[in-house]
Structure 1
Amino acid sequence: MAQHVFNLNAHWPGGRNDSGTIETQNLQTKISIPPEMDGPGIGTNPDEMLLGAAATCYIITLAAMMERSKIEKIDLKMTSEGYVDVTNGVIIYQKIIHRPVVTIKHDPSKDISTLLQKLATKAEHSCMISRALKGNVEVEAILTIKNG
């Protein structure tokens, strides 16, 4: 098994309420503390980036599992929510909920619906980011199936 190394360059020239930048091979953005945590809200923030990493990994994993299972989809969309608790100055990323919506070509049979539900759960357990968060952040998937 080959090891993959991903690189990120970060620059933070100021203090707590300033902003900085991050840059990877395919991402360049400003960063700061979000306004919900009394920051300036410039660019993105660690909370959004963690949610983005979890959502991206999950939706790609689910799409790959559907493809391997020969489920023909018209579309796959998703919203995700990240729940962060701040109590007495302690910040805890508590939970992520993914809400994938799969549109398939025909009226979903019970067998397809059952398989899609299993895949939605399996993708959550198989995603590399979900596995990295396990034991620290609860991750849940709530699937909706539509027919096209």
Structure 2
Amino acid sequence: MAQHEFHLTAEWNGGRNAEGTIRAGNLDTKISIPKEMGGPGVGTNPDEMLIGAAATCYLITLAAMLERKQIPVDKLTLETTGVVSENRGRLKFESITHYPHVVLGTEVTEQQVEEAKGFTEKAEQSCMISNALRGNVELAVEARVEKA
């Protein structure tokens, strides 16, 4: 069994409303609590990073599935929304919803369109990050798949 290690280093300068930095591979950015949660809103934050991890994993998984089945894609875009609730001062990451928009090549068959629609759901179920979150965060996909 192959294992892959990923490493992150972090620095934090102060208390709750301070800011810090993180570095992991190609990721090198400032961090803080978001303005929406009463923080300074400098750099990114854990909420953005969580939906970023879920979205990039989903998008790469979907692209790989389409490529493996040789379904021509003209354009693949994604919007992702994460919802965090606050109850009595406790925060909970409630849900992540992916909104992929898949524009297939004009030469695709109706069977390939249907297959691509299926992959929009299967990619969420196959994504390593989604699988790590499943059971703790509600996960959903609302896809648009169409011919160019």
The TM tier, using the shorter chain, reads over 0.9
Match of 1:14 in 2: 14
Q: TM-score, normalised by structure 2?
A: 0.96
Match of 2:69 in 1: 69
CA RMSD across the alignment: 1.2
Within 5 Å, give how 1:1-148 maps onto structure 2: 1-106=1-106, 109-148=109-148
CA distance in 2, matches of 1:97, 1:107: 30
AA matched with 2:131: R
Deviation at 1:80, TM superposition (A): 0.4
Deviation at 1:107, TM superposition (A): 7.1
Change (3 A) 1:71 1:117: same
Classify the secondary structure of the residue corresponding to 2:13. coil
CA distance in 1, matches of 2:50, 2:123: 17
User: Which structure 2 residue ranges, 5 or more long, are not aligned?
Assistant: none
Deviation at 1:109, TM superposition (A): 4.7
CA distance in 1, matches of 2:108, 2:100: 16
Deviation at 1:97, TM superposition (A): 0.6
AA matched with 1:80: T
AA matched with 1:115: E
Deviation at 1:79, TM superposition (A): 0.5
Classify the secondary structure of the residue corresponding to 2:106. coil
CA distance in 2, matches of 1:91, 1:108: 45
Contact 2:58/2:127 (<8 A) preserved: yes
Q: Percent identity?
A: 50
Q: Deviations over 1:118-148 (max 9, x none)?
A: 1111100000000000100111111112322
Q: Deviations over 1:50-75 (max 9, x none)?
A: 00000000000000000111100111
AA matched with 1:94: E
Q: TM-score, normalised by structure 1?
A: 0.96
Q: Deviations over 1:22-59 (max 9, x none)?
A: 00111100000001111010000000000000000000
